[in-house]
Structure 1
């Protein structure tokens, strides 16, 4: 009996069992997506309403479920909307539009958003640090990842000055004119008096 039991155990051990590879976690299929964002213009100014179009293309052969599409608005945005999505954040430099959507294989999806720009807080602060531009970025995230699968940006030139600066320049010119009048006015008056005195003689 013992010999038979041992032989049975040896025979079972020699049979091919389930491969360890079969139980190994499978890597998710590679995702290939692109994103493009544009507002159809190259320059803008405070008070202007920008209309953004975000185009997402799934180039892969696998559907992407519940992708997250995010667009960060320009830093001077005062109000924003996202058709079919939500807007998070309040105040300048903190607003972004977010959408959740399935991306079927080879499919193209379009999302739209708007942003209204305000003035730069002061003359030394710009919409994008170190530039005079309004910058917006759009990214696609899949599988709950914090790293984007694709990103794109849109830049619009801003005017070199804004109304406050123009008004300030006007006051500077008035001040200069007043100073010139104060310096040369008395001399002009004396010259006129001398001429009148000479004619009277």
Structure 2
């Protein structure tokens, strides 16, 4: 019995205690480009604000901004741009976030024309959407995310389907001409048979 008790005491002293689970850092993030409408060829300048609301520093945070789907070129001040094709670009920053600190990151995106004219968020519009998420370490789940939406006008005019005036004129002409043609045919037949 003494051996078991001695072993328990020695094992407790020799083995480190499991660390207490920590709450994830409290972060808030916002992103804005200062406009509500954009169009092809326009450059949007984004301001990303990350606020560490907690009393502990977040070391090695990763801030990722997914650029709008029509982005043809992007920049990230003091960061990098990953992805090369339209719709595949994102800006990435790595930073330490001191306790109760606010940090600002900036990025830019030049929009191209939308490619898929069959989809629209509202008649005649599409949205230029961007999202920003903050990650800590190798954690796959974001600690905070935010987004910004801008309306894009129709990049190509909708095909005209007509307003029915052509059909109305054709119907009117037919209504006026057909009885006259029918009478002329009847008269011609009556002369030949008579």
TM-score (norm 2): 0.72
Rounded to whole Å, the distance in 1 between the matches of 2:118 and 2:8 is: 77
* 1:11-58 Cα deviation digits (max 9, x unpaired): 982995435884224424531101000000111111100000000000
Aligned to 2:31: 37
CA–CA separation in structure 2 for the residues paired with 1:25 and 1:96: 36
| Counterpart Cα distance in 1 of 2:111 and 2:102 | 29
1:98 to 81, 92, 99: 92
Alignment root-mean-square deviation, CA: 3.2
Task: Name the counterpart of 2:118.
Answer: 124
Check the 8 A contact 2:24/2:143 in 1, yes or no. Answer: no
* Partner of residue 68, structure 2: 74
Change (3 A) 1:16 1:84: same
104-113 vs 25-34, greater mean Cα deviation:
25-34
Contact kept, 8 Å, 1:29 with 1:62, in 2: the verdict is: no
The runs of at least 4 consecutive aligned structure 1 residues that moved more than 6 Å come to none
The alignment partner of 1:23 has SS state of: coil
Question: Given the alignment, which residue of 123, 132, 137 partners 2:131?
Answer: 137
Aligned to 1:24: 18
SS at match of 1:165: coil
1:84 equivalenced with 2:78 (yes/no): yes
Gaps of 5+ in 1: 1-5, 185-201
Change (3 A) 1:54 1:12: same
Deviation sequence 1:73-131 (CA, Å, 0-9, x none):
0000000000000000011110000000000000000000000000011421459xxx7
Show the counterpart of 2:186: none
- Whether the 8 Å contact between 2:65 and 2:92 is mirrored in structure 1 is yes
Partner of 1:113: 107
- Counterpart secondary structure, 1:13: helix
SS at match of 2:157: helix
Where does 1:173-188 land on structure 2 (aligned, <5 Å)?
none
Compute the TM-score of the two structures, normalised by the length of structure 1: 0.70
Structure 2 spans left out of the alignment, 5+ residues: 174-194
In the TM superposition, what is the alpha-carbon distance from 1:132 to its structure 2 partner? 1.4
Larger helix percent: 1
Alignment pair present for 1:53 and 2:47:
yes
